[in-house]
Structures are given as C-alpha cells and as structure tokens.
Amino acid sequence: KSGFSLVMNHPACVNEITLSLNNKNARTKALVLELLAAVCLVRGGHDIIMAAFDNFKEVCGEKNRFEKLMEYFRNDDTNIDFMVS
C-alpha cells in the first residue's frame, strides 16, 4: 500500500512505467499493463494514465495515443499472457 502511494505521488513514475511498454519481453509488457490497470482503479488514476499515454505518444513519436499498444495487440497474438492483460 505504501509503495503504491509512492508511485502515485511521484510525478514521473507512471510515465516511466508506461514507457516500459517498449520492452521486447511480452511478460514485462503484461506486467506493465497490470500496473497501469491498478492505477486506473484509484481516484484520479484514469487521468494519470491518460497523461502517461500522452507522454508515451510524445516520447515515442506516435501520431495517435495507444498506437504502439494497438500494434502489439495486432502483431503479438501468440502470447496469451500479454493478450489477457
């Protein structure tokens, strides 16, 4: 609980976690999505996640938010752990 509070209160932590979606390891991507889903469940979490994906879009040069994430879902259909998350 205290660790989660530290994550929520750190201005760049969720951004850095979101950028970990660039990791090649499918299990890492699945864990990142689980963490981001947990953040969505707390008050104000949805806004934090949307801002983190706006940052991801900017840093990774996406034209649209969630572009890379949708690419993973379209192209990585062989990894059940990632797809379930």
**Tens digits of per-residue pLDDT, 1-30?**
788 788 788 879 999 999 999 998 888 998
Rg of the chain (C-alpha set)? 13
DSSP 13-28: HHHHHHHGGG-S-HHH
Residue count of the chain: 85
Per-residue pLDDT at 80 exceeds 80: no
pLDDT at 64: 95
Per-residue pLDDT at 61 exceeds 70: yes
Report pTM.
Answer: 0.81
Q: Which element (helix H / strand E) includes 47?
A: helix 45-60
**Would you give the DSSP letter of residue 63?**
S
**Tens digits of per-residue pLDDT, 39-48?**
999 888 999 9
pLDDT, mean over the chain? 86
